[in-house]
């Protein structure tokens, strides 16, 4: 399953790119580390960064207990990020989160400010799963109806899971070929214990069960580190207004809107996103 690091009382699956002596860029997956494209990790490493992407709890090589009923909170996941950053480097890290990992990254930057020197938020929003604030655009209703009309696959069947991911990507406006390949890799990293439930979690299906209270949106003005907000203009899951709100409410944040992107980071945007992250 690859290397792991023990931090905050749990084991976290990690993957390293670049020179460990270089400044650390810590990538919080959403939920698996494979939410972050290999090409982006490699581009950041070529730019002189030590890149570490990692699995959140209950996914990949990280501690897995019962993904269907997590006994930890969003705050615990944020504490995991801070503890991992400190275990890897004495210097504050550049923390980046994508999707639900972006929620983890926001809370980590607020609750553990000394652990992080920079922040990148990709395709995320400032409120937890569930009812959305009135001023933020919610999931596109027509797209969600099509997405959730798909029958759940047999999570123990690699081919069925890959096809399910590809079909979902097509609905969301992402690359189905890339989604199929990534789902196969996610499935291959699933431990042997309760593989169906664990694979479902790696596909992001049970994060909504996590306790994400209390709210953190009102605290966003407390974030004092350089921040980059990246969002796909065509994202129907977290529409671009969510990224725009983050950029408004975090002091000095830069907003990078990818005109042709939906929920995933497309291959064509990797160099632009890596460059913007390095500029922080």
Domains, the chain, in order of start with CATH, read: 4-135+191-279 (3.40.50.1820)
Confidence at residue 193, expressed as pLDDT on a 0 to 100 scale: 47
Taking CA atoms, 181 is separated from 36, 98, 111, 161, in Å, by 13, 19, 36, 11
Average pLDDT of the residues in 14-18: 98
- Strand ranges (DSSP E) for the chain? 4-7, 10-17, 24-28, 50-54, 93-98, 116-122, 227-232, 254-258
The DSSP 8-state label assigned to residue 135 in this structure reads: T
In tens, the pLDDT along 161-172 reads 899 999 999 999
Cα torsion at 88, 92, 94, 100 (round to 10°)? 80
Residue 220's nearest CA partner among 182, 192, 253 is 253
In 207-242, which positions are buried (b, 16+ CB within 10 angstroms) versus exposed (e)?
A: beebebeeebeebbeebebbbbbbbbebbbbbbbeb
Confidence at residue 114, expressed as pLDDT on a 0 to 100 scale: 98
pLDDT at residue 2 above 80? no
Taking CA atoms, 270 is separated from 116, 239, 261, 265, in Å, by 23, 20, 11, 7
Taking CA atoms, 99 is separated from 20, 30, 106, 237, 239, in Å, by 26, 5, 11, 10, 12
In tens, the pLDDT along 140-180 reads 999 999 999 999 888 888 899 899 999 999 999 999 999 99
In tens, the pLDDT along 230-276 reads 999 999 999 999 999 999 999 999 999 999 999 999 999 999 999 99
Predicted TM-score of the model (pTM): 0.95
pLDDT at residue 129 above 70? yes
Average pLDDT of the residues in 106-116: 98
Q: Which residues contact 194 (CB under 8 A, 6 or more apart)?
A: 64, 67
The DSSP 8-state label assigned to residue 196 in this structure reads: H
In tens, the pLDDT along 40-91 reads 999 999 999 999 999 999 888 898 887 778 889 999 999 999 999 999 999 9
């Amino acid at each position: 399953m690859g290397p792991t690091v023990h931090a905050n009382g749990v084991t976290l699956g990690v993957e390293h790119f670049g020179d460990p002596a270089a400044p650390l860029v810590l990538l919080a997956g959403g939920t698996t580390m494979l939410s972050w494209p290999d090409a982006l990790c490699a581009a950041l490493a070529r730019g002189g960064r030590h890149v570490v992407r990692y699995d959140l709890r209950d996914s990949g090589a990280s501690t897995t207990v019962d993904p269907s009923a997590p006994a930890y909170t969003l705050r615990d996941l944020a504490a995991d990020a801070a503890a991992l950053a400190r275990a890897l480097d004495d210097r504050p890290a550049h923390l980046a989160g994508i999707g639900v990992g972006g929620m983890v990254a926001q809370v980590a930057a607020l609750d553990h400010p000394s652990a992080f020197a920079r922040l990148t938020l990709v395709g995320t929003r400032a409120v937890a799963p569930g009812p959305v604030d009135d001023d933020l655009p919610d999931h596109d209703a027509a797209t969600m109806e099509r997405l959730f009309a798909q029958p759940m696959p047999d999570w123990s069947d690699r081919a069925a899971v890959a096809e399910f991911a590809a079909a979902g990507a097509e609905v969301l406006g992402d690359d189905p070929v890339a989604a199929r390949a990534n789902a196969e890799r996610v499935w291959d990293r699933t431990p042997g214990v309760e593989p169906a439930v664990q694979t479902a979690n790696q596909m992001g299906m049970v994060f909504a069960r996590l306790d994400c209270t209390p709210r953190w949106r009102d605290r966003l003005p407390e974030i004092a580190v350089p921040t980059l907000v990246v969002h796909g203009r065509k994202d129907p899951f977290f529409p671009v207004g969510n990224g725009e709100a983050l950029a408004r409410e975090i002091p000095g944040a830069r907003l990078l809107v990818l005109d042709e992107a939906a929920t995933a980071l497309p291959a064509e945007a990797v160099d632009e996103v890596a460059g913007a992250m390095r500029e922080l």
